[in-house]
A = this chain, B = another copy of it.
Amino acid sequence: MLSNPRSDRVRAVRRLAGRSARQRAGLFLAEGPQAVREALPAGAVQDLYATEQATDRYPEIVDAARVAGVPVRLCTDEVIAEMADTVTPQGLVAVCRPVDVPLKRVLDARPRLVAVLAAVRDPGNAGTVLRAADAAGADAVVLTTESVDVYNPKCVRSTAGSLFHLSVVTGVPLAEATSRLREAGCAVLAADGAGELDLDDLQDQSDAGHGPLAGPVAWVFGNEAWGLPEQDRALADASVRVPVHGRAESLNLATAATVCLYAAARAHRRA
């Protein structure tokens, strides 16, 4: 039973909330039952820390860890609280190995729907888009070099387990991501409030069996505050605006991404 919240081991886990420690250790944190439940079958968990209460409450998680050969270490409440980034990790903290894959592996699988996050900086936004991409049935999410670290605890939490479902690619320059996705057969569409094409028109086209949404699509989403600079937009085949019907000035990133990804998903299903 780990009981000293100031021990070296506890401090080492706690430090994984910071990017430099994550990079040095090549590890990250998944906190709470939802994240741990998804991380285990993905083979991502190296060590699982749990309070006695959590092992009673989530026996299926402890069993899954044991079956997978993951050491389960009992901790006091104080130790878990010290390790976790969240206020209430519900007694479970997993130290995980990165789950991202090379872009090549995504391309070799001939993806039909990909979300590219270009310079998305807020971890909550990145995680929410990743979760929406999973729900829309995307094959992969690519985070460019300028985007937030996908293993930031707040990002991991916002994905609600989706981080462990679809293929995640990190650290690719946007120009490389767009050109290689295009070579792999994707239409590369930049979501942009001032885009030249209207998403509604693209949906009409795909309903009629043609247009970019009818085939494989890679959506590029820009920064939450400043969107996509001109040189980034130019890397796409076209820029597409989500129609704003009311008087809203704009959509937030996650809302726009949701509409774009679901539009493509529906077009693919009808195709």
Chain A interface (Cβ < 8 Å from any Cβ of B): 34, 128, 131-138, 160-162, 165-166, 200, 203, 207, 242-252, 254-255, 258-259, 262, 265-266, 269
Contact = CB atoms under 8 A, between A and B. Distances in A.
Contacts of A269: 200
B254 A255 contact: yes
Given A128-B252, A258-B258, A262-B259, A245 B135 contact: yes
A247 B134 contact: yes
22 contacts: A34-B249, A131-B248, A131-B251, A134-B246, A135-B242, A135-B246, A135-B248, A136-B245, A160-B248, A160-B250, A160-B252, A161-B248, A161-B249, A162-B246, A162-B247, A200-B266, A200-B269, A245-B265, A254-B255, A255-B255, A258-B259, A259-B259
A131 B248 CA distance: 7
A253 to B, nearest CB: 11
B128 A160 contact: no
A133 B244 CA distance: 10
B160 A249 contact: yes
B165 A246 contact: yes
Given A132-B251, A137-B245, A255-B258, 5 more contacts: A131-B255, A165-B247, A165-B248, A254-B254, A258-B259
A250 B165 CA distance: 13
Contacts of A160: 248-250, 252
Task: List 10 tightest A-B contacts by C-beta distance, closest first.
Answer: A137-B245, A135-B248, A134-B248, A134-B246, A165-B247, A137-B246, A135-B244, A258-B258, A255-B258, A132-B255
Nearest to A132: B255
Contacts of A254: 254-255
